[in-house]
Amino acid sequence: MRASQEYQAHVLRFAIDRFRRQKFAHCGGVLVSQFGDGFPAISAAIVDHARRPKRAYRAVADAFAPLFLTIDLPEDQAAVDGLLLRLPRGRLQHLRIVCVNDDPSRHGRARLRWRIERERAHETSPWREVRGWFAKRRFRGHDWITIPDQLDPAAVIAEPAVRLHADGVYRVTAELEVAGQPIAHMEHRFLVGDPPRGQRLSAGRSDRLAQRAVEPLVEARR
């Protein structure tokens, strides 16, 4: 149950994030079609029949924040790996931090702080570990930006260019501050490099494993 709820939370946040980045371009709004269950059921609702929020409830609430920060990864260079995108190692990547504002009270200047750090490493060579460690100090920045107006489309407010040499799970965070107080926060994870060795399968071996999984079903049907 937990895995299915986490998957639902990820999918809804991913969809809302993607549509909000297209504000006024290809999308005029986002609507969650099923909010609550009317009776005990397995459904796509984000609140159950007893009005207890599922995991997707918080994800949807965060994704609908009036002042919203998100990250646009270079998907043309990425591969899908589970629920995350996997970027190639050692290649210069241009990440775009995007701001969407639907709050009429928010405008003017704000301070943006962003940071990219590796959370967890895969198996890698000592040389790549050393290069990744020295590169960490380049994976942060701050700047003054202008908050887009409520009637403006989504705006790219920063475009960090980074070269990630170490394999693993990375986290990018960004925060907007006004008068020293945070007004918006973003956190996103992605992968870099090759999958761990245990996850790598050759095409031939993958086909053989798939065939072995199907054989018992064929025998049962006979």
Whether the CB-CB separation of 188 and 69 falls below 8 Å is answered with no
Does residue 218 register a pLDDT over 70?
no
Q: Do 20 and 26 form a contact (C-beta atoms < 8 A)? A: no
Output the pLDDT for position 2: 85
Q: Greater confidence, 6 or 217? A: 6
Residue type, 124: T
Euclidean distance between the first and final Cα of the chain, in Å? 33
Q: Are residues 188 and 91 in the same domain?
A: yes
Count up the domains in the chain and report the number: 2
Answer yes or no: do 7 and 34 share one domain.
yes
What contacts 117, CB < 8 A, 6 or more positions away? Answer: 136, 139, 170, 171
The amino acid present at 58, given as its one-letter code, is: R
Is pLDDT larger for residue 133 or for residue 80?
Answer: 80
Please identify, among 64, 85, 117, the residue that sits at the C-terminal boundary of a domain.
Answer: 64
Which residue range forms the structural domain that includes residue 21? 1-64
Among 15-24, 122-131, 188-197, which stretch is predicted with the lowest mean pLDDT? 122-131
Question: Cα separation of 194 and 200, whole Å?
Answer: 9
Please state the pTM of the whole predicted model. Answer: 0.79
Same domain, yes or no: 58 and 70: no
**Same domain as 178, residue 194:** yes
The model's pLDDT over 101-131, given as tens digits with 9 standing for 90+, comes to 999 999 999 999 999 998 877 655 677 666 6
Residue that is last in its domain, among 17, 43, 64: 64
